[in-house]
Structure 1
């Protein structure tokens, strides 16, 4: 199984311990995300970006550590994270993890989450995930989806991303649903959890953002 991990330049304190995901992982750093990888003693396989967020000394450090660096002009049509994502997609992996893309500026966070649409458009060929210390985020299209219990991310919300979610059914959840219709902006399927080790949710039309959260206060 080929997995790609992308680390962006979001707040470093939101990035989990990456060694937990390091097995068989190809790492791509987006701009300052390369320094975050190095700080966790991981050498990026690829570094991409305009590198406008790092100092001259940090740039020299990066050049001595990373063999494959692709630089882009500051004025460009794509963000550094999107460039990293396209590089990852070209590898045709089974899974893409994105770290360091939440917790900072809200506009950046929202557009980074929307990058999951690019992966969802690939007809399920690549599973895309955004992970930080408190959240695990995926985008799901219509179909039947299995959810396994995760002690770290016990709270689960299904958030509509389209005008309607049709025939949403939840099985194995504390708050079940049967053939429910969710309108955009509905909170009906938020703050749920599994009652066992596994559950399923299915729907016939629409797109859902699946947010699994750690609701334990630090």
Structure 2
């Protein structure tokens, strides 16, 4: 069975991120995300990046506590640290990806990381970006998506391609049937599940599905 890879990047992290880790997961640390894992007692299978956001002593701490470490020049590299981590995980044959710390105060990096969902989708690998308030995934017409209420109150739909056609929602307060969304529309924002689960299907295009809540994740279980 293919393994799930959980990537910790250098954006916003907290106890909620550690609760995403399950037994058997392969842990990957990207730049400061690697330090976060190590400082909380986890051993990354791979730590990689330019490590320009941590000190030399912290880098040595990460090196000693990781199975593998790949360091690159911050100027000459072509990919962001998170892109490097996603690419590496996909090349290892990951069966699923979870990205923690991929969102933060730098919206250039945050938006670039959202676009990484497409890289995983093109390889047929389920991928989620998770933070303390949101869970993001990307879908296309190849398979339906089932969303669960869990700790999230809202489900929003945003096209990541110019147009998404054939959108059908089942189990939602505001249903859609064979609808079309284009970039610039807010029609798909803040829908609500009627029960515990809802189903989303599309015919063509890339649809970003965002589950969200205004309630902060608990600090501890």
> Which residue number in structure 2 is paired with residue 154 of structure 1?
153
Q: How many residues align?
A: 215
> Which residue number in structure 2 is paired with residue 56 of structure 1?
56
Distance 1:62 1:143, change over 3 A: closer
Cα deviation for residue 20 of structure 1 reads 3.9
Q: What is the alpha-carbon distance in structure 1 between the residues aligned to residue 99 and residue 20 of structure 2? A: 14
- Residue ranges of structure 2 left out of the alignment (5+ in a row): none
> Which residue number in structure 2 is paired with residue 40 of structure 1?
40
Cα deviation for residue 17 of structure 1 reads 3.8
Deviation >6 Å, runs of 4+: none
Distance 1:92 1:67, change over 3 A: closer
- State the secondary structure of the residue aligned to 2:177: strand
> Which residue number in structure 2 is paired with residue 110 of structure 1?
111
Cα deviation for residue 178 of structure 1 reads 1.1
> Which residue number in structure 2 is paired with residue 86 of structure 1?
87
Answer yes or no: is the 8 Å Cα contact 2:5–2:28 preserved in 1: yes
Give the structure with the higher percent strand. 1
- The equivalences for 1:1-218 within 5 A come to 1=1, 2-13=3-14, 16-75=16-75, 76-122=77-123, 124=124, 126-216=125-215
Q: What is the alpha-carbon distance in structure 2 between the residues aligned to residue 41 and residue 150 of structure 1? A: 31
Answer yes or no: is the 8 Å Cα contact 2:139–2:145 preserved in 1: no
Q: What is the alpha-carbon distance in structure 2 between the residues aligned to residue 217 and residue 84 of structure 1? A: 27
**Aligned alpha-carbon RMSD (Å):** 1.7
Cα deviation for residue 143 of structure 1 reads 4.2
